[in-house]
Structure 1
C-alpha cells in the first residue's frame, strides 16, 4: 500500500453506528418544533433543526458544519447538473439532487425531511443498495453522467461503486468525487485506488480475483458487521471499472461534528489514456 499523504499511513479507525430508532425520533423532534410553520420550505431551518436534535437529544452521524463548507464550496465550483449522494442516514448532504439510501426506513426519513424543506421537486431519493441503484438508474436512462459524487455510505463500497460508475461511463473526464471519512474510520482501499496511476490500475485488473465481492479487510469490521446485523447484504459488485481514467486526488483536512479530526478526499477525473 502506498503512503497516502507525506509518508503518513491511514489506518482504519472504528466508527460508532446506531440502530436504535433515533432517525424516527428525529422526525418527531423536527415536526414537533414550535416554529414548524417557519421551518417548512426553508432548507437552512430544516438543517438547523437536525443539528439541534444532534446537539440536545442524540448524536447523529451528520456531515457537520466544517465538512459542509468543503462540500458546498465544491458544489459552487463544479456547478453540477447531476450530483449523486451516497449518504449515511442523517447526512445533511441528502438535500442534493439524487440521494441513494439502502435502508428503506432511513430513506423514508430522508424523503420526509426533503419534502419538509420544499425540495421534493429537485431531490430524488432512491431506495436500494448503492450499486443496484446506480445500475438501475443508468439502465432506466435517469442517470446518464455524474458531474459530482459525494460518498458517505457503506465504506467498503466506496471503491467498488466508483468502479461501477466508471464501467457505465457515468464517471468520465470532468467528473469530481468527494469521499468523506477517509481518516475516521479510514478507507485505504479507496484512497489507494484514486491515487494510483493508470499503469498500476491496469496491473491490478490483470490479477486473478484481484477485486472480489468481499469487503477489503483494511476497512473496519465494525462497520461491515453493523450492516450485517441489520440483515443487509455486505457483498460488493466486482466491476472492472475503467483503469484508463486519470485522477488528481487530494486530501482536505476537516473535523467531525464531535471535533475529531477527519478528512474529505476530493478527486478530479482529468483525462483518459488510450487502452
Structure 2
C-alpha cells in the first residue's frame, strides 16, 4: 500500500460536499488570484490553484494528485479534464471528451479549461452519461473507446459499461479505469469486470430488463442527485457478456488522504 503525503490533503469531506455553491466559489477563487496572468494558459498552475482551494477552503471531489497518474474521463469541476486534456495534447491528441450531467458544473469545466488554454482540446458534453454516450455513437463522433475513466454516478458504472459494450465502443484493447471502488465502493461493477464470460452470460439470461440501482449501494449513494429531482433509473443494456477483462485493483487515496482504489480493466478478447 502506498503512503499518502499528508501535506497535500484536502479539507475533510462534509455531509454536503458538492452542488452547494462551492463550484462557483472555486471559479471566483481561481480567477481572483493575484497571479492570474501567470496561471492563464498553464494547466499545471490551474490545477495547483484548484488543489489550493481544496486544501484551504472546501473539499472538492476531484481525482486528486495521487490518482492523477491514471487517465480519467470525468466531469465535476474539470480537474480531470485539465490533467488529462493536457496529457492528450502533449501526446498529439486532438480531442478530450468530458461527460457531465450538471450544466452548471459543465460551465465550470469549460471556464477552467479556457483559462488553462485547453479549450481547443476539451469538449464538454452535457447530459446523462448513457444518453450522451449513445448520442456520440449515433452521430458518428465516437466509434471506439481506447480508455474510459468512470468517476460519475456510482450505480451507473456497470450499466454504462454494458451500454458501451452493446454499442461496440469497447473491444479488445480498450482500457477501463473505475474510481472509488473502495470508497464508497462499487460491488456490482467489480463483480462484472472480474466475472468470466460464462458467468455474465448466465446473468444476462436472468436479467429482468429493469434499470434500477443495485440494492448493495448505500442509500446516500443512490440518492446523490435527488436534490435536483433527477431520476435514479439506469439503462438496461445487456452488454456483450463474451468480452474478457483482465482486471486489477490499484490502491490509492482520496484527496483527503482516505484510502480508496481504482479498478483497472483491460479488454483482452471475446469468447
Residue 64 of structure 1, CA deviation = 1.2
CA distance in 1, matches of 2:192, 2:214: 12
CA distance in 1, matches of 2:78, 2:59: 12
CA distance in 2, matches of 1:68, 1:272: 30
- Structure 2 equivalent of residue 93 of structure 1: 80
Q: Deviations over 1:139-179 (max 9, x none)?
A: 11111110000010000000000000000000100000000
- Structure 2 equivalent of residue 187 of structure 1: 186
CA distance in 2, matches of 1:226, 1:268: 29
1:229 to 227, 230, 246: 227
2:266 to 262, 265, 268: 268
* 5+ residue gaps, structure 2: 1-13, 86-95
- Structure 2 equivalent of residue 81 of structure 1: none
* 5+ residue gaps, structure 1: 1-13, 76-83
Q: Provide the aligned C-alpha RMSD in A.
A: 1.5
Alignment check: 8 A CA contact 1:15 1:223 kept: no
- Structure 1 equivalent of residue 47 of structure 2: 47
CA distance in 1, matches of 2:78, 2:113: 12
Structure 1 segment 134-145 matched on structure 2, within 5 A: 134-145=133-144
- Structure 2 equivalent of residue 132 of structure 1: 131
Residue 54 of structure 1, CA deviation = 0.6
Q: Which SS does the other structure have where 1:93 is aligned? A: helix
Structure 1 segment 101-112 matched on structure 2, within 5 A: 101-112=100-111
- Structure 1 equivalent of residue 3 of structure 2: none
Residue 16 of structure 1, CA deviation = 5.8
CA distance in 2, matches of 1:51, 1:152: 18
Alignment check: 8 A CA contact 1:41 1:117 kept: yes
State TM-score, norm by structure 2. 0.88
Structure 1 segment 111-190 matched on structure 2, within 5 A: 111-190=110-189
1:16/1:199 CA distance change after superposition, 3 Å: farther
CA distance in 2, matches of 1:193, 1:114: 34
Alignment check: 8 A CA contact 2:211 2:233 kept: yes
- Structure 1 equivalent of residue 250 of structure 2: 252
- Structure 2 equivalent of residue 67 of structure 1: 67
Residue 208 of structure 1, CA deviation = 4.0
Residue 220 of structure 1, CA deviation = 2.0
1:31/1:222 CA distance change after superposition, 3 Å: same
CA distance in 2, matches of 1:177, 1:267: 5
Residue 188 of structure 1, CA deviation = 0.1
1:41/1:91 CA distance change after superposition, 3 Å: closer
Structure 1 stretches (4+) deviating beyond 6 angstroms?
none
Residue 19 of structure 1, CA deviation = 2.3
Structure 1 segment 69-84 matched on structure 2, within 5 A: 69=69, 71=70, 75=71
